[in-house]
Amino acid sequence: GVRAMQAEDGGEAASPTRALRLPATCRTVPPAPSYPAARQRFPHPSPTQPPAKSKMAVRTLPQQGSTALKDPASIKIAANPDVADFGCCQKCLICCFTQGGCPSKERSYIYVRENSVEYNVGIRHCIMEACGNPPPDHTYVSYFDRNPFVLSPYCGCNKGDPQIRLYEPGFMCCCMKCTAEEGLCTCLFNKKAAVITPFDTYCCCCPNKTKACCFGLGNCFGPVEGNPRWFSYVFVQPQDAETFVAAASEAMTAHRRGK
């Protein structure tokens, strides 16, 4: 047979399972080079470091009245309801003022904010849009410390803060309520609407609330009992007027109390 090879150092036979010895020059592994200048020049971001926030323009001049915000970086929206369909009278007004435009329900909105009510009427105009010049929106903001949300006392004759209330178009006939809820269609609004009342009483003692007028015969004929006599319509009407009136009244009351 073939003799086992003799080891150079001791003359013993080399075992096939014995590890080979490498020269000292091969066993020494040089340390990894360090690059302090490169690490300082290109630092790695810390995984726990929060991302940098974008800066915003901060107002330094104090704001007065209801225009002041509770949080300078945001504004609270108390209600953003669905918009109801525009009535025929509203469409005619928009068509006249925009020279052939019509309201856009998708772009229109009504916001009840922490200090105001914001309305926006979106306009669609086929000719202007075809020419690449879409019509502008019509946006209006009513703050709670300006008309129509402040009382005009008129030498003390009017009393009570303005409110956002519910109005039901129609009338009473033969002790029956003839309204949109009962199938009566009106031109301006075909169901309950949100309105703004300028006062609670006028002429010192007259309540701003209707009563059925039928010469002492009960609710025989006259206006719907409980509707305000003096009011102004909210041009952009919510789909659910009752829920909107409740949310708007709560926001207005909280603002007047300074909450």
Q: pLDDT tens digit string along 126-136?
A: 888 889 898 99
pLDDT of residue 40 exceeding 60: no
**pLDDT for 153:** 84
Do residues 240 and 81 make contact, with C-beta atoms less than 8 angstroms apart? yes
pLDDT in tens, 119-175: 999 999 988 888 989 899 999 999 999 999 999 888 888 999 999 999 988 777 777
66-92 mean pLDDT: 90
User: Across residues 175-196, what is the average pLDDT?
Assistant: 71
pLDDT band at 224 (very low <50, low <70, confident <90, very high): confident
* Beta carbons of 186 and 180 less than 8 angstroms apart: yes
Two tokens at 50?
Answer: 């929060």
Closest CA to 114 of 60, 62, 67, 164: 67
Maximum Cα interatomic distance, the chain, rounded to a whole number of Å: 139
* 78 vs 111: CA distance, rounded Å: 7
Q: Is the pTM of this model over 0.95?
A: no
Give the pLDDT score at 4.
Answer: 46
